[in-house]
Amino acid sequence: MSKQVQDAYIVSATRLPIGKSGRGYFKNTRPDEMLVKVMQAALAQAPGLDPAAIEDAIVGCSFPEGEQGMNIARVASVLAGLGNTIGGVTVNRYCASGITAVQMAADRIRVGEADVMFAGGVESMSMIPMGGNKPSLSPLIFEKDENIGIAYGMGLTAEKVAAQWKISREAQDAFSVESHRRAVAAMQAGHFAAEITPFDVVERTPNLADPTSGSVNVKTRIVSLDEGARPDTSLEGLAKLKPVFAAKGSVTAGNSSQTSDGSGGLLIVSEAALKRYNLTPLARFVSFAVRGVPPEIMGIGPIEAIPAALKAAGISAKDLDWVELNEAFAAQSLAVLNDLDSKGIELDRAKVNPNGGAIALGHPLGATGAIRAASVIHGLRRTGGKYGMVTMCVGAGQGAAGIFERL
User: Residue 391: in which H helix or E strand, if any?
Assistant: strand 387-394
Residue 270's SS3 state is coil
Q: Do 374 and 13 touch, CB atoms closer than 8 A?
A: yes
Comparing C-alpha atoms, which of 373, 375, 379, 366 is closest to residue 402?
373
Q: Is 363 a catalytic residue?
A: yes
| Separation CA 378–CA 50 (nearest Å) | 24
The packing angle between helices 301-313 and 330-342, to 10°, is 50
Options 95, 180, 191, 378, the catalytic residue: 95
- Give the 3-state secondary structure of residue 300: helix
Collapsing DSSP states into helix, strand and coil, what is residue 179? helix
Task: For 47, list phi and psi in degrees, rounded to 5.
Answer: -60, 140
Identify the CA nearest to 27 among candidates 287, 223, 161, 196: 223
Sequence-distant (≥ 6) Cβ neighbours of residue 13 within 8 angstroms: 42, 45, 195, 264, 265, 266, 267, 282, 283, 373, 374, 377, 378
Residue 303: Cβ within 10 Å count: 25
Asked if 56 and 88 count as a contact pair (C-beta separation under 8 A), the reply is: yes
d(CA 260, CA 250): 22
SS (H, E, C) 203-233: EEEECCCCHHHCCEEEEEEEECCCCCCCCCC
Is 393 an annotated catalytic residue? yes
Task: Spot the catalytic one: 61, 180, 191, 393.
Answer: 393
**Active-site residue, from 180, 191, 363, 378:** 363
In the chain, the amino acid numbered 14 is T
Known catalytic residues are 95, 363, 393
